[in-house]
Amino acid sequence: MVDSNHKGEVVFENVTRAVQTKKTETIILDHCSFVIESGKLTVLIGPSGCGKTTIINLIAGYEKPDRGKVLIDGKPVAGPDRERLVAFQETALFPWLTCYDNVMFGPLATKVMTREEAHEQAINLLEKVGLGDFLYKYPMQLSGGMMRRAELARALINRPTVMLMDEPFRGLDAMTRELMQEYYLRLVEESHGTHLFVTSEIEEAIFLADRLIIMTNKPSRVKHALDIDLPRPRIASVLRSKRYLELKALTLEILHEEAVKASMASGKADIAIDSGLRT
Amino acid sequence: MSASTLNTTSNLWKQVRKTVANWTTVRRIMSVLLFLLAWTILVQFTGQFHQIPTPAAVFAALFQLKLGVIFTEIFRSFVRVLCGFLLGLLIGFPIGVAIGYSRIANYLLFPAVEMVRPIPPIAWIPLTVLFFINIESQIVFLTFYGAFFPIVYNTMGGISEVDIRLPRAAMSFGINRMGMLWKIILPAAMPQIFTGMKVAIGITWLMVVAAEMIASKGGLGYWVWYHHTVMEYPMVILGMGIIGLCGALCSVGIDVIGSHFMKWRNIF
C-alpha cells in the first residue's frame, strides 16, 4: 500500500500543448488528462513521436502548457525544480566533470547537504549502480550503459519527489538494457518516490510498471490505463508468467490500433487493418 | 654476446620498427623530400623561375644568418602578436559571451558585428593611420583586429550550440544564473572557444607580417621585405620559413593551454 505521506502526485488537467512554426501549428497534446499516482512507477508508452518527451518537459518545468494545468500535489508547475528531475534520452552528463563530480553537482549547487554527507551518498549510490571503480572517469571513458547508470545516480542523490525517465535506456543493446532495468528496479523499490518512465518498448514497460498509461497518436491523449499487477520485487522470471503474457497481448492490441492509425495518417505505408495481431 | 642480450636487442629493434622505422614514417619523409625535389626541378629546369633560390641555397643562407639580428626581429613580432592577441581575447571574449548568453546583448551588438566582420582586416590598414599616430600602436591595433572577430564569433557560436539538455539539467539541480554561466555554459563551449583562439592567432600572424611590411618598423615582416629590396632572395625564403615556424609554435601553444583546461577531452 502507498503511504499517505508520500508526495509527488502529478495531475494533467486538460493539457493542450502545440508547437508553432511560421505557417502551421502542430498540436502535440490535445486536452490530455491523467493522474500519476504518488509513490508508484508509472510507465508511459505510445507510438513514437506522440509527445512523450513533451509530457516529461511539462512536468520538469522546461515547457509550459498552452491550455490546461499540470499540477504537482495540487500546485501548478512553476519552473524547473530539484523536486522533479529528469534522466535524459541518451544521457546528458556534464562531459567535463568526472562521474563522481557529476553526481556531486546537484547537492553542491544548492548546498542542501554538507559536502561530507553528499560525498558519502555519492559513493554509496555509485557503488550501488556498479560504478564504484569508475568514480574518477570522465563520461567519455564510460560505456553507454555506465553513462546511463551514472545519470541515474546523479538524479537520485537529490531525492526527487518525482523522477522522470525519458527513454533512458534507448539505444542500448538488449543485454545491457536488461541489466539496466534490473539496476533501476532495485533503486526504485528502495526509493519509494514517484517515478514516470517513458518508453516505446512494450516488454520494458510491462516489466517495470505499477501502472501503464498508453497514449494515442498525435495529437495525444490517454488511450488506456492499465494496472500491472505482477508481483514485486520483479525478477526476470516474471517475463515467463502467464499474467505477463496476457498483459502483453492486451497492450499490443491497443498499441497496434494506434500504430495503424499513425501509419495511415502519415501515408507512409498502407497496412491492411485486418491483418496483424488480433486473433 | 649472450643469448639474452641478443634477445633484448632484437626486441628493441622490433620496438623501433613498430614506432619509428616503419613505412608510415618513410612515406612521411618522402612527402617532404618530394616537395624539395619538385622545388629544385622547377627552379633548375624552367626559365620562368630561374631567379628563385634552390632549397640548397636557402639552406646555405641559414649559416649567414646574424643570430642577434634575427632574434631581435622575432622578438619584436612576437610581442606585437601577443599584445594584439591578448587585447583581442580581453575585449572579444566578453563580447562573445554577452552576445551568446544574453538576448538583449545579442540584439544590441550582433548586427553591428555582422556588418563590420565581412571587411577583410587588411582593408583597414589605411584607416589605422587616422586612429593612432604611433606606428607601434597601429601595428598592434591591426593584429588585435585580426584576432577580434574569430574570438567573438566562436565564443558566441560555442555558447549558442550548447546541448540544451545540459543547462536544463543544471537548472533542475537549482543552479543560479552566475553558476550556470561559469559551471555549465563556458565549460561546454570551451572546445569551440579554443578553436576560435587558434584561428585568431593564425590571423594575428598574417596581420603582423602585412603591417610590418608596410610600416618599416622592424619585425619579421619588415626583415623579409628588406631582403626583398636588396634582392637577397635566399634570406627572403628563410624569413618566410621562420614566420611559418613562429605561427606553428603559437598554434601549438594554444593547443597546450587548451588541453590543460580541457583535461576531459584528451583522456585517451
Report the CATH number at residue A199.
Answer: 3.40.50.300
| B123 and B228 co-located in one domain | yes
Give chain A positions within 8 Å (CB) of B190: 96
**Surface-to-core class of residue A158, CB atoms within 10 Å of its CB (0-12 exposed, 13-18 middle, 19+ buried):** buried
Determine the Cα–Cα distance for residues B209 and B214; give it in Å rounded to an integer.
9
Which residue of chain B has the CA closest to A139? B264
| B42 and B67 co-located in one domain | no
**What is the model's pLDDT at position B195?**
95
Q: CB-hemisphere CA count at 13 Å for B232?
A: 14
What ipTM describes this predicted complex?
0.82
Give chain A positions within 8 Å (CB) of B265: 140
Pairing state of beta strands A25-36 and A10-20? antiparallel
Which candidate from A92, A138, A139 shows the least CB-CB separation from B169?
Answer: A92
Give chain A positions within 8 Å (CB) of B188: 94-96
| B8 and B96 co-located in one domain | no
| B147 and B261 co-located in one domain | yes
Which candidate from B166, B172, B190 shows the least CB-CB separation from A81?
Answer: B172
Q: How large is the angle between the packed helices B233-261 and B186-215, nearest 10 degrees?
A: 160
Helix ranges (H only) for chain B are 3-19, 23-45, 55-61, 67-101, 103-116, 125-131, 135-160, 165-172, 177-179, 186-215, 220-229, 233-261
Nearest-neighbour CA in chain B from A239: distance (Å)? 34
Report the CATH number at residue B82.
Answer: 1.10.3720.10
CB–CB contact A109 B267 (8 Å): no
**What is the model's pLDDT at position A269?**
45
CB–CB contact B169 A97 (8 Å): no
pTM over 0.95: no
Pairing state of beta strands A194-199 and A67-72? unpaired
* Residue showing cell 541489466: A179
Length of chain B: 268
Per the structure, the complete domain to which residue A104 belongs is given by 10-236
Whether A132 contacts chain B with CB within 8 A: no
Pairing state of beta strands A75-76 and A84-87? unpaired
Give chain A positions within 8 Å (CB) of B179: 109
Give chain A positions within 8 Å (CB) of B163: 92
pLDDT digits (tens, 9 = 90+) for B186-227: 999 999 999 999 999 999 999 999 999 998 889 999 999 999
Determine the Cα–Cα distance for residues A42 and A206; give it in Å rounded to an integer.
10
Domain presence at residue A276: no
Per-block mean pLDDT, blocks of 10 residues, chain B (268 long) = 64 79 87 94 84 91 91 96 97 96 93 93 91 92 96 96 93 90 94 96 96 91 95 94 96 94 78
| B116 and B215 co-located in one domain | yes
Per the structure, the complete domain to which residue B42 belongs is given by 3-52
CB–CB contact B172 A85 (8 Å): yes
Per-block mean pLDDT, blocks of 10 residues, chain A (279 long) = 62 89 84 90 85 91 92 91 88 94 92 90 91 93 91 90 90 86 86 88 91 86 87 84 91 83 61 45
Domain presence at residue A193: yes
Domain presence at residue A96: yes
